[in-house]
Amino acid sequence: MPRKLAAGNWKMNGLRADLTQLETLAARHSDASVDILICPPATLISQCKDLLFDIGGQDCHTLMAGAHTGDISAKMLADAGASHVITGHSERRMDHGETDAIVAAKSQAAHAAGLVAVICIGETRDQREAGTTLDVIDSQLAGSVPDGAGAYNTVIAYEPVWAIGTGKVPTLDQIRQVHGHIRARMRARFDDAAEMRILYGGSVKASNAADIFAVPDVDGALVGGASLTADDFSPIITALEAS
């Protein structure tokens, strides 16, 4: 069984004053039996690197350097102290028009820089209601996960777009179906797919975490708003440890 992972995505939130939340979290979980990953804004990565858990970026460019004002490369993230980077988050796909091909290229760049790529996939509400969820998942996995991916450098995060930040959560059967489908597709491509971690994301909180973590093939969570404070994120980590 892969070691479970609790990942927090701070998105465009967090100033230096908020680092006290991470210090509190580190103190509470200094002997955690699961892996903990925090993805703060890039401005805080270097200041987080000495904490007791992994630090990740929220995005990277497809190239390692060049004339791309405002972008950050995977190599820069690694140099700042990151070990992971999120690629293909639905907010990047929607706000910046990122395609599966771009997500795959960013994931390849992450691998080349020695980072673990946390590749996000998930359907919209319209796609869910149209009954095409698994077709969408198949297409995103095929197009976003590059050859050369494996358990050592890739995490898959299933985040139904309609559940992110809305308080709405798929049923446990829906989560089970999609996670099992992802595992099967990864097994068809990669020899170590049984060890590749598959996270669930989308309105995960203390009140529903234990039920979600009991679903087969859920190896942890990618958490948004509930990862911003130690009081909200700590119970989710504890629930994952107990699963």
pLDDT digits 0-9 by tens, 14-69: 999 999 999 999 999 999 999 999 999 999 999 998 888 999 999 999 999 999 99
Q: Is residue 26 part of a domain?
A: no
In a domain, 21, yes or no: no
- In whole angstroms, what is the distance from residue 134 CA to residue 140 CA? 10
> Encoding tokens for residue 27?
């103190």
Residues in Cβ contact with 142 at an 8 Å cutoff, skipping those fewer than 6 apart: 100
CATH of the domain at 220: 3.20.20.70
User: What is the average per-residue pLDDT within 235-243?
Assistant: 98
Q: Domain for residue 23, yes or no?
A: no
Q: Which of 29, 61, 84, 89 is catalytic?
A: 89
Q: Is 217 a domain residue?
A: yes
d(CA 199, CA 118): 9
CB-CB contact of 128 with 166 (8 Å) = no
Distance CA 84, CA 199 (A): 14
Read off the pLDDT of residues 91-118 as tens digits, 9 standing for 90 and up. Answer: 999 999 999 999 999 999 999 999 999 9
Residue 165 has pLDDT above 90, yes or no: no
Q: Which domain covers residue 38, as residue numbers? A: 5-16+33-242
Asked if residue 25 is part of any domain, the answer here is no
In a domain, residue 206? The reply is yes
Could you tell me where the beta strands, DSSP code E, fall in the chain?
5-9, 35-39, 54-57, 84-87, 116-121, 154-158, 198-200, 220-223
Residue 27 lies in a domain: no
CA atoms within 13 A on the CB side of 213: 25
98 catalytic residue (yes or no): no
Of the residues 84, 123, 159, 179, only one is catalytic, namely 159
Can you say how many angstroms the Cα of residue 152 is from the centroid of all Cα atoms in its chain?
Answer: 15
Structural domains counted in the chain: 1
- Residue 205 in any domain: the answer is yes
Q: Note if 89 is an active site residue.
A: yes
What is residue 46's predicted lDDT score, i.e. its pLDDT?
A: 95
